[in-house]
Amino acid sequence: MGEFVRLEVKDGIGTIRLERPPMNALNVQVQEELRAAAAAATADAEVRAVIVYGGEKVFAAGADIKEMADMSYVDMVARAPEISSSLGAIAAIPKPVVAAITGYALGGGCELALACDWRIVAEDAKLGQPEIKLGIIPGAGGTQRLARLVGPARAKDLIMTGRMVDAAEALRIGLVDQVVPAAAVYDAAVAYLKPFLTGPVQALRAAKLAVDSGLDMDLNSGLAWETQLFAALFATDDRREGMAAFVEKRKPDFTGR
């Protein structure tokens, strides 16, 4: 696919692999290649779930500061929405998505991890939003997704101090979902996704859409949205198969239709 980002598909799992040594810095090219990889993973029916992975040494250590250093306000007004939407494309993949994190996930790298549904990290991983130390704030979802995940007080602590957290603290505050030895990170992500590979594709899509979109609505609007998605699933073959299997006391054979 791209020079620095590629989509690898195996056994129903699409791995969006970053490979821009030494630290997988998210320059403009990487951002756009992430967008393309997200679109490809969305469109490929063989991909039932997705892993975002930076390799055995590092997830992504942030944006390419050298590329940004000479940009003006006018330059960034034009570019900032594209930075945010490139990671938003990962969040919008209508399939289960896990970030498999080794080494550092900082700045834009942390924001990329936040765009995933879950985060599995190495025991020695470090995460954080250090942008404040550069005189800026996170600009690709960090202030919004982080606050929704860990709460506003903890998000302000991490964003306003710029400090890094280790894997143990990240797990304690709900920033990550599982901590494993570094060598086991990718395999743990595969194991996490396996239950989804034979699941009802449309129901999984609806569940993700209901939660993610509902967070931006008031309760009554969210409930109405949930009801609409719930009812729509009664048009699917998988709903019929799931209920028939329940009545007949057998395992369902979902087809994704």
32 has catalytic annotation: no
111 has catalytic annotation: yes
Using a 10 angstrom Cβ sphere, with 0-12 exposed, 13-18 middle and 19 or more buried, the burial of residue 158 is buried
Distance CA 94, CA 207 (A): 10
Residues 6+ apart with CB under 8 A from 239: 200, 203, 233
Pick from 37, 83, 91: which is nearest to 62 by CA? 83
Please identify which of the residues 38, 41, 61, 63 carries the catalytic annotation.
63
Please identify which of the residues 54, 108, 109, 142 carries the catalytic annotation.
108
Please identify which of the residues 38, 61, 111, 113 carries the catalytic annotation.
111
Distance CA 92, CA 49 (A): 13
Strands (E), 21-158: 49-53, 97-101, 104-106, 118-122, 126-128
Other beta carbons within 10 angstroms of residue 37's beta carbon come to 26
Cβ atoms of residues 7 and 37 within 8 Å: yes
Which residue type, as a one-letter code, is found at position 133?
K
108 has catalytic annotation: yes
Cβ atoms of residues 241 and 254 within 8 Å: yes
56 has catalytic annotation: no
Other beta carbons within 10 angstroms of residue 7's beta carbon come to 20
Query: Please, which residues bridge with residue 104 across strands?
Result: 126
The token pair at 186 is: 């990718």
Please identify which of the residues 131, 203, 226, 242 carries the catalytic annotation.
131
Catalytic residues: 63, 108, 111, 131
